[in-house]
Amino acid sequence: MAMREMQEMCEAQRGTIVREALERIGDKWTLLVVGMLETGPQRFTVLRQRVPGISQRMLTRTVRHLERDGLVSRTVYSEIPPRVEYELTDVGRELLPPILAMADWALANSDRVEESRRAYDESAAQLAAAKQ
């Protein structure tokens, strides 16, 4: 087998691993929830308030998946009323810098993206009109 082929295989392997990881955390809520756990342990309800628009069901699902993957720990305090706290594990916390960097990127570029999108749609509309 040629060296180039081997390199391509390795590259594909890496790509697959990265893709699978991104599939885990690349849904609508996961990164946002992890980001909101930046400041320390959070209770379910507080977390729900901090993540704008998330439903109870989706928050439950998201933290369950994060717990399953070992990014978040779940601590139940046997009180009445019950109290549950979620906290990033070490693995989860290592993901924090890239997430925060992406959040910064989003805040810094949201208007530029918006504008690009508007311009794209407009020229697409003109093209469609020209066809008629």
Which of DNA, a second copy, none binds 68 (CB below 5-8 Å, type-dependent)? a second copy
The one segment of 45-53, 98-106, 108-116, 123-131 that binds DNA by CB under 7 A? 45-53
111, 81, 69, 86: which is closest to 35 by C-alpha? Answer: 86
Q: Which residues sit at the interface with a second copy, rule CB under 8 A?
A: 11-12, 14-28, 31-32, 35-36, 50-53, 67-71, 91, 94-95, 97-99, 101-103, 105-110, 112-113, 115-117, 120-121
Tell whether residue 43 is a contact of DNA (CB under 7 A): yes
Minimum CB separation of residue 15 from DNA in Å reads: 13
Cβ-Cβ contacts under 8 Å for 69 (sequence gap 6 or more) = 24
Amino acid at 42: Q
Q: Residue 1 or residue 128: which is nearer to DNA going by CB?
A: 128
Neighbour-count burial for 93-107, b at 16+ CB within 10 Å, e otherwise: eebeeebeeeeeeee
Q: How far is Cα 99 from Cα 87, in angstroms, rounded to an integer? A: 16
What single DSSP character describes residue 28? S
Closest approach of Cβ 9 to DNA, in Å?
A: 20
Binding-site ranges for DNA (CB under 7 A): 27-29, 43-46, 53-58, 60, 63-64, 74, 81-84
